[in-house]
Amino acid sequence: MSSNCTSAAPVSASKTKTKKKHFIGQKVKLFRASEPILSILMWGVNHTINELSNVPVPVMLMPDDFKAYSKIKVDNHLFNKENLPSRFKFKEYCPMVFRNLRERFCIDDQDYQNSLTRSAPLNSDSQGRFGNRFLSSYDHRFVIKTVSSEDIAEMHNILKKYHQFIVECHGNTLLPQFLGMYRLTVDGVETYMVVTRNVFSHRLTVHRKYDLKGSTVSREASDKEKAKELPTFKDNDFLNEGQKLQIGDDNKKYFLEKLKHDVEFLATLKIMDYSLLVGIHDVERAEQEEMDVEGVGEEEEYENDGVLTGSFGTPPDSPGNPLNCGGFFGAGEFDPSVDVYAIKSQDSVVKKEVYFMAIIDILTHYDAKKKAAHAAKTVKHGAGAEISTVNPEQYSKRFYEFMSNILS
């Protein structure tokens, strides 16, 4: 596709065309959020999806699409001043590529737009290793993560191969589902954000979660972490509890085939330090919690589609929204087309659970920093110690073996 599209459609990476926007006769969409940066994200996603809807879907992506971007500068506007700064810039990276990825992950652009713009994203108490912020869309379908400019560069490095991998596996993967990548500029400060599908459910509460790397050196949750309402436990915490994820032979075989394929791909990209994020939904506990809520009063009533309306800022009533499809879900039931990472515990177990499992944090390349860290840790812990900074090949094998041992 030509990169000289009209308006704010993708322009080639070599150009820096910027367009000023005037707000005349706009549909009133206020993008109210607790902070300006989130209002800008809502405005930007709304704008770019609207612009993309006017760009025909190409037969195939071209090499330039992996370098393209759309960029818009808003200056001295008078629209919605109580929510949006009067000056800001919004840049979307590789719009055609991410539209194609959303389609391959069966996410409709209208649903994506609604989830990110109808009500403000919600803050999470989770924080990344380098102080990255995590937010979720108001309906909990998508996760928005602030990242560094180095992460954006790494995404550009792997995007073509990642896209090809997603095409070949038909979107059937445990890797993060990357759906959009943006830069927001206000008062000269640049913020980079990446949007992915939420690993956890929009409907089934996660009662316990783990970040597993297959390493046991310094892999325990801190006391500060354990004090949180939903702490992120680590490898040693999991092993010390002596538990297994009981998903049954067929599910285990299918899961491990996907995992093997994914980690071998990451090793070819020289990527490491990723984790398996595991969330556990306790079916019986959820039923009890639901009864307790009903006992307190009728403030939060179930709609006939089984979605707890109290968990949303605005009811997601767009016709195409899969959260809206009819049919009441029983305890521990889910729609596999929405909760794509969910696996039920096998029927024979006494304690019914639903597991959510996916690979996260795949933007760490085995570069000089990691090599230096590996050398330092080897000196400290000895050559045989299970430290997390091994090389990508070793990392993928150790990761796979650890995960195959915790499943039954």
Residues 6+ apart with CB under 8 A from 344: 247, 332, 352, 353, 354, 355
Measuring CA to CA, which residue among 96, 374, 139, 407 is closest to residue 251?
Answer: 407
> In percent, how much of the chain has pLDDT > 90?
61
User: Residue 283, SS3?
Assistant: helix
pLDDT at 19 over 70: no
- Residues recognised as catalytic: 145, 273
User: Residue 187, SS3?
Assistant: coil
Name the average pLDDT for the chain: 83
- What pLDDT does 11 receive? 44
Model confidence band, residue 262 (pLDDT cutoffs 50, 70, 90): very high
List % helix, strand, coil for the chain (3-state, nearest 5).
35, 20, 45
What's the predicted TM-score (pTM) here?
0.81
- What pLDDT does 378 receive? 60
Tell me the three-class secondary structure of 322-342, residue by residue: HHHCCCCCCCCCCCCCCCCCE
- Exposed (0-12), middle (13-18) or buried (19+): which is 258, by Cβ within 10 Å? middle
Model confidence band, residue 336 (pLDDT cutoffs 50, 70, 90): very high
pLDDT at 162 over 90: yes
> In percent, how much of the chain has pLDDT > 70?
76
**Model confidence pLDDT, tens digit, residues 183-223:** 999 989 999 999 999 999 999 999 999 999 998 888 899 99
**Model confidence pLDDT, tens digit, residues 291-329:** 877 766 555 444 433 333 333 433 444 444 545 444 567
Q: Which amino acid makes up residue 304?
A: N
Which has the minimum average pLDDT: 18-27, 66-75, 174-183? 18-27
Radius of gyration, alpha carbons of the chain: 22
Q: Where are the alpha helices (DSSP H) in 316-391?
A: 368-381
**Rounded Cα gap, residues 122 and 47, in angstroms:** 20
